[in-house]
């Protein structure tokens, strides 16, 4: 009998000889029992937790909300946003989430450009995601367009211990209405705890330079919150994700948030690391395309303990990934290569997905006890 360790779990293989002798049923049962006992006592079980972020681009329901600037996304509005188009959009997002992690959809998924709780209920409970027992964390923000961030999580695999919106008020523009940051503390099935920040920082609309102070302010708020967590618990597992509307080398990320490059030996003293830095060294790869330039506006930034493979909870290979399935892109006739397959191209309805690609990580969560099968409620 050979026992082979593969992908963190034990698999058993029977090695047959050239000439075999039939075994008695008693011997077969004895070998079977020994295998089970050996696995339960000596194996260290591990679980893979998938966590990601996706800017889904204007997930609105078709109903007019008098408190929001959502007129374009109504049946009579500019986009002629009907219930049929809305259902297709929801199902398209579900299709992406079901494909992003291979056999199992993500355990935790941050979302941006969500109108309200009704679209999250539709996505979680009335789409192909229904059987995976998703629930969500969401707070209404004062954003004039009415788009918020949210966090999806799979009940039975993740428990939300705490959540809160972090309001953003610019000291240089106190009357502005800005998107909140979503902060949540999640407990995994292994007992490990994650601190999560879901972001959608101020866009570059109106010019890059004039909007720099706004994104810098977002970065300073997140940095202060992370410092408080790390001061209380230096080994805290922190994941900061979202659409930052800045690239990994921009001021808000590098200087204010102080997110280092994990492959840069000069950054070893950092407490936060940007897993998207490696994509900056690649051509024509990113989560978002502007004209002919692919870049990573969508990022995953983590605390250093998650990059330590000796920790029970760590990121597999210390890497983040960009998910790009063939059905999510189309040929780019203007700038060559490919581009994302969007819901709208200008005023023309295309029936696609989003103007962004999702990003994700896979965490290895190792149990220190023998595996126990629990029944979910």
Kindly report, residue by residue over 53-99, the tens digit of the pLDDT.
999 999 999 998 877 878 889 999 999 999 999 999 999 999 999 99
| pLDDT score, position 23 | 52
Which is more confident, 206 or 149?
A: 149
Q: What is the pLDDT of residue 34?
A: 44
pLDDT tens digits, 277-288: 999 999 999 999
203 pLDDT more than 70: yes
Q: What residue ranges in 107-234 does DSSP mark as E strands?
A: 108-114, 134-138, 148-154, 158-166, 181-188, 193-200
Nearest one of 304, 286, 205, 201 to 251, comparing CA atoms:
201
The interaxial angle of helices 83-99 and 117-125, nearest 10 deg, is 60
Compute the radius of gyration of the chain from its Cα atoms: 23
Segment 224-245 mean pLDDT? 98
* Residue 363: closest CA among 27, 37, 150, 49: 49
Q: Let me know: does 3 contact 10? Beta carbons within 8 Å.
A: yes
Find the mean pLDDT for residues 295-299: 98
HSE-CB for 215 with a 13 A CA cutoff: 26
* Contact in structure between 363 and 305 (CB atoms under 8 Å): no
pLDDT digit string, tens, across residues 322-367: 999 999 999 999 999 999 999 999 999 999 999 999 999 999 988 6
Residue 369 confidence (pLDDT) above 70: no
The whole-number average pLDDT for the span 220-239 is 98
Of residues 293 and 45, the one with the higher pLDDT is 293
pLDDT-derived band at 32 (thresholds 50, 70, 90) equals low
Mean pLDDT (whole number) for 201-225 = 95
Please report the sign of the dihedral spanned by the C-alpha atoms of residue 241, residue 242, residue 243, residue 244: negative
Question: Which tens digit of pLDDT belongs to each residue from 99-146?
Answer: 998 878 999 999 999 999 999 999 999 999 999 999 999 999 999 888
d(CA 206, CA 213): 13
Q: How many CB atoms lie within 10 A of CB 41?
A: 8
Long-range contact list for 180-183, CB < 8 A, 24+ apart? 180/139, 180/141, 180/142, 180/148, 180/149, 181/149, 181/218, 181/221, 181/222, 182/110, 182/137, 182/138, 182/139, 182/149, 182/150, 182/151, 183/225
- What confidence score (pLDDT) does residue 70 get? 83
Mean residue pLDDT of the chain comes to: 87
pLDDT at 43 over 50: no
Q: What is the pLDDT of residue 367?
A: 60
Greater model confidence, 56 or 13: 56
Can you give the pTM of this predicted structure?
0.85
Integer Cα distance of 157 and 326 in angstroms: 29
pLDDT at 14: 26
Distance between CA 221 and CA 212 in Å, rounded?
A: 15
Q: In angstroms, rounded to a whole number, what is the distance separating the alpha carbons of residues 17 and 158? A: 46
Contact in structure between 167 and 260 (CB atoms under 8 Å): no
pLDDT of residue 25: 57
Provide the token pair at 94.
């579900």
How far is the C-alpha of 297 from the C-alpha of 319, rounded, in Å? Answer: 17
Compute the residue count for the chain: 377
Which pLDDT does position 229 carry in this prediction? Answer: 98
Report the candidate in 138, 247, 134, 156 with the shortest Cα–Cα distance to residue 201: 247
Domain assignments of the chain as residue spans, ordered by start = 2-42, 50-366
Rounded CA separation 219/208 (Å)? 16
Asked if 356 and 55 count as a contact pair (C-beta separation under 8 A), the reply is yes
Mean pLDDT of 279-299: 96
For 309, the token pair is 């493979």
Rounded to 5 degrees, φ, ψ at 238 are -120, 135
**Which two structure tokens, joined as six digits, stand for 26?**
């008693």
Residues 119, 112 contacting (CB under 8 angstroms): no
> Does the domain at residues 50-366 carry the CATH identifier 3.60.10.10?
yes
Strands 148-154, 108-114: pairing kind:
antiparallel
**What region, left, alpha or beta, does residue 337 occupy, with left being phi > 0 and alpha being psi -120 to 50 degrees?**
left
């Amino acid at each position: 009998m050979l026992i082979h360790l593969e992908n963190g779990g034990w698999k058993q293989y029977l090695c047959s000889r050239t000439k075999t002798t039939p075994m008695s049923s008693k011997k077969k049962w004895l070998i079977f029992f020994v295998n089970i006992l050996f696995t339960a006592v000596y194996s260290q079980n591990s679980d893979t937790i998938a966590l990601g972020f996706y800017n889904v681009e204007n997930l609105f329901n078709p109903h007019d909300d008098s408190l929001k600037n959502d007129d374009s996304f109504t049946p009579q509005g500019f986009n002629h946003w009907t219930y049929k188009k809305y259902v297709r959009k929801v199902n398209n997002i579900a299709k992406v989430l079901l494909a992003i992690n291979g056999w199992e959809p993500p355990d935790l998924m941050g979302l941006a450009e969500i109108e309200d709780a009704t679209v999250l209920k539709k996505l979680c409970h009335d789409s192909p995601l229904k059987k995976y027992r998703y629930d969500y964390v969401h707070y209404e923000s004062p954003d004039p367009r009415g788009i918020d961030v949210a966090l999806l999580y799979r009940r039975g695999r993740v428990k939300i211990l705490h959540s809160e919106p972090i309001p953003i008020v610019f000291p240089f523009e106190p009357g502005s209405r800005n998107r909140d940051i979503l902060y949540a503390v999640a407990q995994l099935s292994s007992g490990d705890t994650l601190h999560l920040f879901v972001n959608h920082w101020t866009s570059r609309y109106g010019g890059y330079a004039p909007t720099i102070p706004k994104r810098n302010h977002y970065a300073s708020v997140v940095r202060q919150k992370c410092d408080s967590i790390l001061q209380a618990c230096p080994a805290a597992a922190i994941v900061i994700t979202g659409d930052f509307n800045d690239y990994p080398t921009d001021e808000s990320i590098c200087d204010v948030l102080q997110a280092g490059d994990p492959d840069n030996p000069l950054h070893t003293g950092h407490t936060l690391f940007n897993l998207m830095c490696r994509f900056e060294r690649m051509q024509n790869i990113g989560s978002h395309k502007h004209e002919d330039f692919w870049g990573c506006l969508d990022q995953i930034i983590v605390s250093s303990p998650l990059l330590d493979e000796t920790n029970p909870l760590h990121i597999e290979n210390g890497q983040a990934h960009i998910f790009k399935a063939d059905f999510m892109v189309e040929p780019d006739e203007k700038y060559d290569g490919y581009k994302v397959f969007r819901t709208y191209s200008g005023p023309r309805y295309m029936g696609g997905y989003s103007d962004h690609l999702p990003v994700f990580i896979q965490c290895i969560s190792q149990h220190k006890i023998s595996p126990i099968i629990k029944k979910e409620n």
